[in-house]
Amino acid sequence: MGVGLGYLLAKTDIISTSDHSSVVSINLFIVLLCTCIVIGHLLEENRWMNESITALAIGLCTGIVILLISGGKSSHLLVFSEDLFFIYLLPPIIFNAGFQVKKKQFFSQLHDYHAVRCYWHSDIFCYYILRCYELLQEHEYCNWSDLFSDRFCLHLADTSAVQFSFGEGVVNDATSVVLFNAIQRFDLSHINSSILLQFVGNFLYLFFASTVLGVVAGLLSAYVIKKLYFGRHSTDREVALMMLMAYLSYMLAELFYLSAILTVFFCGIVMSHYTWHNVTESSRVTAKHAFATLSFVCEIFIFLYVGMDAMDIEKWRFVSDSPGTSIRVSSILMGLVLVGRAAFVFPLSFLSNLTKKSPYERIGIKQQVTVWWAGLMRGAVSMALAYNKFTRAGHTKLRGNAIMITSTITVVLFSTVVFGLMTKPLCHFYPNGHDSEPDLASYSVPRPTSLRTLLSTPSHTVHYYWRKFDNAFMRPVFGGRGFVPFVAGSPIEQSVHQLQ
């Protein structure tokens, strides 16, 4: 991670450790991060709280304190930097989302609270923000041209990328296509066919190029590690190579103007499917937890920042001029999130249920509600995308932009606190995991057998052929579970005892 930094920092020539106020800020921020972790741990048993709400609350309190100390001038320990989010904070979060995706048990593990947590990443919110922005611009600025720029396509691709966290393993392709269709329907009246074609072409190019890049990077790391068998010499080398290759895929996507988020997400999936099985046991443990830890810290960091930013006077000043618009935009966003989430979860669950033969495998209505509800919480990625779209280095002088930011903050705060507070009780209320059979029978929709067969057959066939192809061609080359030579003597035991 320090790589990019070097160049970026160096270019400025004005930054120095001797700048004491920045050292104070860094210290304070680390203390806040530690506090969030400790308080989040203490409140783990609490049925209302979670780490994000804690971080938000601490961020808010800190913002108020800083506001008071600075005499209302600032509520920030740090100013938003696009690079901070897109070069340092987002890659670990998205990569980890891909890396930890449970490919097989995705739906069967809904009872797992951690699985519910990971739905946060399915940030279709970004899309709604952009939609609202368009509506806003229609009324006030009419700056349509840049909406069909590459940047917009990037956002769209990124959006469908994170959608994959939800759809992965069940209906992955469908999601992005649906999303794409949706956006086409909305804008159809405003654009002509050539722009439409260009848009479609752009989207497809970005989508496939990014995916391929991520997959290639993942496969390359798997191949290199399998061929060279790094573990023979050092666990550190394996983990370092995995991290660097993942980050490289992200930066390469940036280099080729692709969707870096999509790339690193697929790189994570491929790495967890192949590379992760090729390394030694201690590397596996290290990689799994190191990636998760990085992602965890980055998320808390963003929530802390959002909490502090919610106290920023500058942006709320615009809002106080036109409270009506602000409330309207926030409500629209909130409604879109509720409806949009439902539009994905329930139909997709229905489709997924059609492919399942046994009633035990099906997603009950309670589970669907849980998935829908838990996904309503907007978080780190939404804020990052909103800041990226609507600010320059955390500041904005445009009224429309300020309102978008404050509305995003409102929705994030509201959804995280209100919906977030309800999620744990909801999970408790809907008993652990699978609905019991009678529940399923009473809640689940009737399934026409013919449609079920129609839908389940291709799905099973595709999966069957993929497994066959994977076992026959991919795994022998790139490794994966069961395709790596077994090493006698657990390296974990050795490495654990080595330090003792």
Binding test (CB under 8 A) with its own copies, winner from 55, 60, 86, 411: 86
CB atoms within 10 A of CB 437: 11
**282 touches its own copies (CB under 8 A):** yes
Binding test (CB under 8 A) with its own copies, winner from 84, 213, 329, 404: 84
CA gap 67, 65 in Å, rounded: 5
CA gap 219, 199 in Å, rounded: 30
Cβ contact 283:235 at 8 Å: yes
**204 touches its own copies (CB under 8 A):** no
Which lies closer to its own copies via its Cβ, residue 293 or residue 442? 293
**H or E element, residue 423:** helix 420-429
CA gap 402, 419 in Å, rounded: 25
- C-alpha distances in angstroms, 56 versus 51, 91, 97, 467? 9, 21, 21, 43
- What 3-state class would DSSP assign to 490? coil
CA gap 381, 129 in Å, rounded: 12
**87 touches its own copies (CB under 8 A):** yes
**Phi first, then psi: what are they for 102, rounded to 5°?**
-85, 105
CA gap 264, 159 in Å, rounded: 13
- Least separation, in Å, of the C-beta of 143 and its own copies? 19
- C-alpha distances in angstroms, 237 versus 100, 273, 386, 420? 21, 19, 37, 40
Q: Which stretch binds its own copies (CB under 8 A): 35-43, 335-343, 405-413, 432-440?
A: 35-43
Residues 209-228 that bind its own copies (CB under 8 A): 224, 228
Residues 444-483 that bind its own copies (CB under 8 A): 481
The two structure tokens encoding residue 114: 């951690």
Q: Which stretch binds its own copies (CB under 8 A): 171-179, 235-243, 321-329, 336-344?
A: 235-243
Which lies closer to its own copies via its Cβ, residue 13 or residue 323? 13
Residues 283-342 that bind its own copies (CB under 8 A): 283-286, 288-290, 292-293, 296-298, 301, 305
Which lies closer to its own copies via its Cβ, residue 175 or residue 286? 286
Cβ contact 78:25 at 8 Å: yes
CA gap 499, 289 in Å, rounded: 19
The two structure tokens encoding residue 490: 């657990």
**5 touches its own copies (CB under 8 A):** yes
**13 touches its own copies (CB under 8 A):** yes
Which lies closer to its own copies via its Cβ, residue 20 or residue 185? 20
CA gap 319, 326 in Å, rounded: 6
- Least separation, in Å, of the C-beta of 15 and its own copies? 5
Q: Which stretch binds its own copies (CB under 8 A): 67-75, 206-214, 232-240, 429-437?
A: 232-240
Please give the single-letter amino acid code of residue 308: M
- Measured in whole angstroms, the distance separating CA 435 from the mean position of its chain's CA atoms is 27
Q: Which stretch binds its own copies (CB under 8 A): 8-16, 164-172, 261-269, 327-335?
A: 8-16
Binding test (CB under 8 A) with its own copies, winner from 160, 263, 272, 423: 272
Binding test (CB under 8 A) with its own copies, winner from 237, 328, 447, 452: 237
- C-alpha distances in angstroms, 96 versus 88, 165, 416? 13, 11, 21
Residues in the chain: 500
DSSP bridge partners of 438: none
Q: DSSP labels for 76-144?
A: -SS---HHIIIIIIHHHHHHHHHHH--SSSTTTTTTSHHHHHGGGG--THHHHHHHHHHHHHHHHT---
- Least separation, in Å, of the C-beta of 427 and its own copies? 15
**281 touches its own copies (CB under 8 A):** yes
- Least separation, in Å, of the C-beta of 472 and its own copies? 20
- Least separation, in Å, of the C-beta of 495 and its own copies? 6
**79 touches its own copies (CB under 8 A):** yes
- Least separation, in Å, of the C-beta of 286 and its own copies? 4
**72 touches its own copies (CB under 8 A):** no
**66 touches its own copies (CB under 8 A):** no
Which lies closer to its own copies via its Cβ, residue 238 or residue 435? 238
Which lies closer to its own copies via its Cβ, residue 357 or residue 481? 481
Q: Which stretch binds its own copies (CB under 8 A): 5-13, 190-198, 397-405, 459-467?
A: 5-13
CA gap 61, 49 in Å, rounded: 16
Which lies closer to its own copies via its Cβ, residue 33 or residue 422? 33
Residues 99-128 that bind its own copies (CB under 8 A): 100
Which lies closer to its own copies via its Cβ, residue 59 or residue 340? 59
Please give the size of the binding site for its own copies, defined by CB under 8 A. Answer: 97
The two structure tokens encoding residue 397: 């002088």
Q: Build a one-symbol-per-residue string for 164-203: x at contacts with its own copies by CB under 8 A, - elsewhere.
A: ----------------------------------------
Residue 63's nearest CA partner among 52, 51, 74 is 74
**94 touches its own copies (CB under 8 A):** no
